[in-house]
Structure 1
Amino acid sequence: MNNQTQSRALTEKEASQYICMSRSFLRQARMDGNRENRTPAPPFIKIGRAVRYLREDLDAWLESFVRRTHLYQDKGVM
């Protein structure tokens, strides 16, 4: 798909494929909101009954997670 045919607003199915997470994760995250001890929900918009995810919001959501170079990094073990 080239840039001219890529939609800015993604369906739930397209968004789940874009971020490599399940559709059920997106549904549950929308219901839970941003509760403590849970992965925060990516931003979404509703147009009538349709739920859409903006590509730039998903990119920012993915970038918000800390990148780890090693699993033991946050335990202080080297």
Structure 2
Amino acid sequence: MNTYLSPEQVCEMIPGITKGQLASWRYLGAGGPRYRKLGKKIIYAECEVIDWVEGSARTGTADAADAAA
């Protein structure tokens, strides 16, 4: 069973992420973890937030686009 987090809880979980940044990602539809909208309430599945963070792991400072060029 999934545990769901509020935007505030996601911000507590990931240092440096703000509610404004999460809102911007949702608005733009780019970046950020997947979310669900129940009426006006926004929630995030904890496992998907963790997967999103783990998916950002890098071994160097070069951007993926720079490495492909």
Segments of structure 2 that go 5 or more residues without pairing to the other structure are none
Coordinate RMSD, CA, aligned = 2.1
- TM-score by length of structure 1 reads 0.68
Q: Which has the higher contact order (CA 8 A, sep 6+)?
A: 2
Rg larger for: 1
* 2:46 is equivalent to residue 55 of structure 1: yes
Point out the structure with the larger helix share. Answer: 2
Which aligned runs of 4 or more in structure 1 are off by greater than 2 angstroms? none
- TM-score by length of structure 2 reads 0.75
Identity %: 20
Segments of structure 1 that go 5 or more residues without pairing to the other structure are 1-6, 35-39
